[in-house]
Structure 1
């Protein structure tokens, strides 16, 4: 079995494990990483660091200590043996979160369909950073669909792509970098300078995988009547570069175009009203669009894994 075939089998195994098992209920590695991150942030991000360059320097040092040793160590130890192939599959499975994405989205869609707005707003706050206390049904549907499309890239497609590029070490690196961005990548007084490196490195690692995710989302326009692959990618390029998050804008604009819905609009973040550019095309997103957005992410993962398998077959000839 060649290296391409082995990699394809590992990706298949990891995705199946995620579908069947979901996130580990106990001893999830990212929980321990999150605890370590909080301790290191308290140690390095002190209020006495009043000079921006010094705070940035401490942020870079803390980022390096948290993200580099583990993937580098695994790369140096890795061997082409059955044991490490199994470990690779477990690592990719641990980095993925499609099953969790489905559970959280359905946890919100169910009360929405039952007109239980209080419950829907409560669970919506688990998935998005905006203020959900006064969101309408349409606004919640928009928030969750945006989150599904963006996290479909961050937590699913990116892990698959980085494994295909450089194996499990790059999967580990991306997952740690993405987690640090979620914890430190805020433009507030606490993290504006300290989290600068975390935010920039997540943007850097997310740039190529966001484009692959957009292509995988757009490819599903092949069986749509309302748009085309070219139009979906064009919206991703035109609208995505106007969005506050370049990588997130690409995948959301492309995905929304395929779903034939419009995303974006007004939201409250940290007490401030933020207005985003319209992403996608068509009518405003509704509760009925949440499940199709999950299917879009699932199909994108399957298309990528099948593509890797076909490449391995070609390489074996």
Structure 2
């Protein structure tokens, strides 16, 4: 047997033991090389289907677009919203679990890595951040406001450079959890089916999870289930951010400040990230015509333009740390 064949046989023996680490590594490499799909993105199709279902089952939306005056009972709309969530989110992960979750280890790694790559948005986060950072650096305020509107739901028409920097950093830290760390965490504990479930649920929350007359009841289940699904992974993300700075202060701020924020999970990760970066986030912002005041998150100076790339670096380091911890855990298990 040649030394090449010997190495190949050893790799074949070891690979199944490190399948999770290999899958995460391959997914991160695919994300770094390929980035987000430019055409035919699966979430665009999912969003189209969600809009179609919502237009039929959300009675509040129907009433707003017709002459109907009778109000549908809130409980009924919540139940219809829950039904819609189930119809959109559950079928694909169930099919994956039942029929595509028991392949040969090498095919499983390739397929799972593809699913995880589609869920991870690290490259996309950086691209969106740079689309705002570069115009801000060149003082092109109009262009910066335009691209800020791509990543936040707040009104951007009158945002100052400092306000856009704050909005971008908040989005990077929060979405660093939603679209990067959470996907990795749920792959580690539940494989590709749980990644799919979380990604679709998080997308529905972004579409329906608003306290407006249209979605306050219909999007109730989407908002609550996304909070539930993100609870554990947000705590992991908080720790991954915190270990890059003052751990004790970061965790303390995450607990004290994050619990006061409108989004429990988002508050925790943003408070921890801002504390590590030694900046403060939060304050006033316009959402759907209303001024929303958020509590102060973090500790230090006011956020600045240069904090935008720093926030991306923080998310990248968190992802790499999680990948390394997964590998070392599997290595210890293998050696024991």
Q: What TM-score do the two structures reach when normalised by structure 2? A: 0.91
- Structure 2 CA distance for aligned equivalents of residues 200 and 274 of structure 1: 20
Distance 1:42 1:130 in 2: 23
Deviates most, 133-142 or 38-47: 38-47
- Report the counterpart of residue 96 of structure 2 in structure 1: 74
**Contact 1:107 / 1:123 at 8 angstroms: preserved in 2?**
yes
Identify which of 29, 44, 47 aligns with 1:34: 47
Counterpart position of 1:225: none
Query: Any conservation in 1 of the 2:22–2:109 contact (CA below 8 Å)?
Result: no
RMSD across aligned positions (CA): 1.0
Query: CA shift at 1:24, angstroms?
Result: 1.5
* 1:312 is aligned to 2:330: yes
Matched, 1:213 2:234: no
- After TM superposition, give the deviation of residue 16 of structure 1 in Å: 1.1
Asked if the contact 1:11–1:92 (Cα under 8 Å) also holds between the matched residues in 2, the reply is: yes
The match for 1:203 is 227
Corresponding residue to 1:53 among 42, 52, 75: 75
Residue of structure 1 in register with 2:129 after alignment? 105
Distance in 2 of aligned mates of 1:105 and 1:289: 10
Aligned-partner Cα distance in 1 for 2:153–2:16: 41
Q: Aligned match of 2:249 in 225, 231, 241?
A: 231
**In 2, distance between residues paired with 1:2 and 1:54?**
50
Between Structure 1 and Structure 2, whose CA radius of gyration is higher?
A: 2
* Aligned pair partner of 2:303 in 266, 285, 309: 285
Measured after TM superposition, the shift of residue 32 of structure 1 is 1.2
User: Where does structure 1 lack aligned partners over 5 or more consecutive residues?
Assistant: 222-227
The CA distance in 2 between the partners of 1:242 and 1:206, in whole Å, is 17
Is the alpha carbon distance of 1:3 and 1:248 closer, same or farther for their aligned partners in structure 2, counting shifts above 3 Å? farther
The count of residues paired between Structure 1 and Structure 2 equals 311
Q: TM-score, normalised on structure 1?
A: 0.96
Aligned partner of 1:263 in structure 2 is 281
Secondary structure in structure 1 of the residue aligned to 2:291: strand
